[in-house]
Amino acid sequence: MTDESTDAESARSDASASPIRAVTGLVGSAWSALKTVYYANSLSWRFLKSGTLLLFGFFLWAGANVLYSYNPDLAVLRYPMAYGFVLILYGPFHHLVVLPLAFRWRRDSGTRRTVGRKLPNAMLAVFLAVVLVLGTAPVGAMVVDFQSTLGSDGSDVSPDLICEGAETENGTEISCELSESEGVDRVVVTSGDTKLVDDADPPYEFTIRERELESVTGEKQFTVELEDEDGTMIRRYSRRLSMIEGA
């Protein structure tokens, strides 16, 4: 670490000497600060750096993937994508394993000492080579498909439930029908704990009486559930009596 006052004085004298020297001094300071962070080797800092690189890798990988999915012609995006993808695993590995190992070996003698000196940069070179290879020839797992959220393997069943009320000699009756019945295999109507209708015949028109309905929070209401051929619920409608015209 450099001394505080010396730092400040040298920066001031550099700046007054020439702006170019000031800029180069600033870049030099930034580079040495970056190296200090890179070589920091306490357990907590290893963890902090690993975590940062892991999150940064995820961010780069996903961000580049998103942009690439909308701009498949921009092949250059595959390189930040590959960089992020490899960084997710290699970033923590480099700071948790490679650097501490290199520092330990440097304190030995002979081959270990030599390998210890060369290991970090050699591993970085391998890392960059892998990034270049993956960026040039992306593997399947690296490229995420964000565009297939809307698939064509299922049908979108979303009919309207149309209900009308009418006064009859038996009191108010509510008649309901579906705007379309394709993809629907069964209709179940309940109110509270009571099942009112269980209809497996298209077009699933049904009529229920007001007096059959149970009150929830002071309002009479009923629920209509649509099921597919597997018996899976695909739509659920809740209707309060006050919502229905004529009821």
Partner 1 sequence: MFGFSTHEYDDEGFRTCNVTGLTIHRSAEDMVKLYGLTAIVALAIGGVFAFFVAMTRWELVSLLSPADFYTYLSMHAWNLLIFWMIFMEIAILYVGGAFVLGRRLSLPRLAKVGWVVMATGAVVVNAAIWTTEAPNQAPLLTSYVPLPSNWQFYAGAIVFILGAVVAALPFFATIWHERRENPNETLPLVTFGAFITGIVALESLVGGLITYVPTLLWRVGEFSTMDPAFYRQMYWIIGHGSQQINLLAMITVWYFLTHVLGGAEVASQKVSRTAFVLYLFFINLGAAHHLMSDPVVSTGWRMWNTSYAAYGAVLASMIHAFAIPAGLEAGRRAKGKGGGLFGWLWSSPWDDPGFSATIMSIILFGFLGGITGVMMGQMQLNMTWHNTLATVGHFHATVVTGTTLAFMGLAYYVLRLVFGRDWAMKPFAKIQPYLYAGAMSLLVLMMMYVGILFGVPRRHPSVMDIPGTEFSFAPAKPFFVVFGVAALLAILGGALFVLIAVASLLTGDRFDADSVGDVTRAAADGGDAKPIHEYSMRGTFTLCLVFLATFVVLWGLNWYLLSTVWQIGP
User: Which residues contact partner 1 by CB under 8 A?
Assistant: 1-4, 7-8, 29, 33, 36-37, 40, 42-45, 47-48, 51, 54-55, 58-59, 62-63, 66-67, 70, 141, 144-146, 148-158, 183, 192-193, 216-219, 226, 228, 230, 232-235, 240
The distance of closest approach from Cβ of residue 172 to partner 1 in the complex, given in angstroms and rounded to an integer, is 18
Nearer to partner 1, 14 or 119 (CB): 14
The distance of closest approach from Cβ of residue 125 to partner 1 in the complex, given in angstroms and rounded to an integer, is 26
Nearer to partner 1, 159 or 165 (CB): 159
The distance of closest approach from Cβ of residue 33 to partner 1 in the complex, given in angstroms and rounded to an integer, is 4
Q: Are 191 and 213 in contact (CB under 8 A)?
A: yes
Q: Which residues of 141-172 are buried (b: 16+ CB within 10 A; e: fewer)?
A: ebbbeeeeeeeeeeeeeebebebebeeeeeeb
The distance of closest approach from Cβ of residue 130 to partner 1 in the complex, given in angstroms and rounded to an integer, is 20
Q: CA separation (Å) from 36 to 53, 192, 216, 238?
A: 16, 68, 67, 63
The distance of closest approach from Cβ of residue 89 to partner 1 in the complex, given in angstroms and rounded to an integer, is 12
Name the nearest CA neighbour of 74 among 83, 86, 66, 84.
66
Q: Are 159 and 178 in contact (CB under 8 A)?
A: yes
Nearer to partner 1, 42 or 170 (CB): 42
Secondary structure (DSSP) of 70-88: H-TT-GGGHHHHHHHHHHH
Q: Are 216 and 239 in contact (CB under 8 A)?
A: no
Say how far apart CA 55 and CA 129 lie, in whole Å: 21
The token duo for 149 is: 């959220």
The distance of closest approach from Cβ of residue 149 to partner 1 in the complex, given in angstroms and rounded to an integer, is 6
Nearer to partner 1, 153 or 160 (CB): 153
Nearer to partner 1, 58 or 206 (CB): 58
Nearer to partner 1, 119 or 213 (CB): 213
